Structure 1
Amino acid sequence: MKARVYVMLKSGVLDPQGEAIRHALGTLGFDEVDGVRQGKVIDLDLADGTDPARIDEMCEKLLANTVIESYRVELL
């Protein structure tokens, strides 16, 4: 079983890395970019039959800082 976890900063939380990317894109001539939010993607290889609720537990305990980040799980 495979799962992909997308972790992003919650809206309203400042994203300095996203702002640096937006600025760099503008410097390279991509002036149409008004904003960038960056995050991370985590691919998990899990034992067959793993309860999907376990993935949420992993996210809540380690993979995402749920105070400032949200996450979404996609089973592959």
Structure 2
Amino acid sequence: MKFEIIITITLKEGMLNPEAEAIRHAIAHLGYATDRLVTADQFRITLDAADKTKAEEIAGSICERLLANPVIHTYEIEVI
């Protein structure tokens, strides 16, 4: 079966995020106050797997081996 996977990768809490800070400052210059801003990378992958559980396992392997650094990132996997 084909499954569409959405993987969202963010920095762990407490990690410096200069991109988010730059965006937050730009928003402030527009006149809007923000308490917090988080950036994320999102990947949409279509893959073949026997079932949803196997699709999640494959996506987890892709995250751990390629897309995310477990020291600084967290990731979420959504199987559609």
Deviation string, structure 1 residues 16-64 (Cα, Å, up to 9, x no partner): 1010010000001112x12211011110111142612111110000111
- The percentage of aligned residue pairs carrying the same residue is 33
Counterpart in the other structure of 2:13: 11
User: TM-score, normalized by length of structure 2?
Assistant: 0.87
* One-letter amino acid of the counterpart of residue 26, structure 1: A
**Unaligned stretches of 5+ residues in structure 1:** none
User: Which stretches of structure 1, 4 residues or more, deviate above 6 A after TM superposition?
Assistant: none
The structural deviation recorded for 1:6 is 0.7
1:62 aligns to 2:66 (yes or no): yes
Aligned pair count?
Answer: 75
For 2:48 and 2:68, how far apart are their aligned partners in 1? Answer: 21
Task: Work out the CA distance in 2 between the residues paired with 1:29 and 1:70.
Answer: 31
What is the distance in 2 between the residues matched to 1:72 and 1:42? 11
- Pick the aligned partner of 2:30 from 28, 52, 56: 28
Amino acid at match of 1:5: I
Q: Which residue of 2 aligns with 1:74?
A: 78
SS of the equivalent of 2:21 reads: helix
Q: What TM-score results when the alignment is normalised by the length of structure 1?
A: 0.91
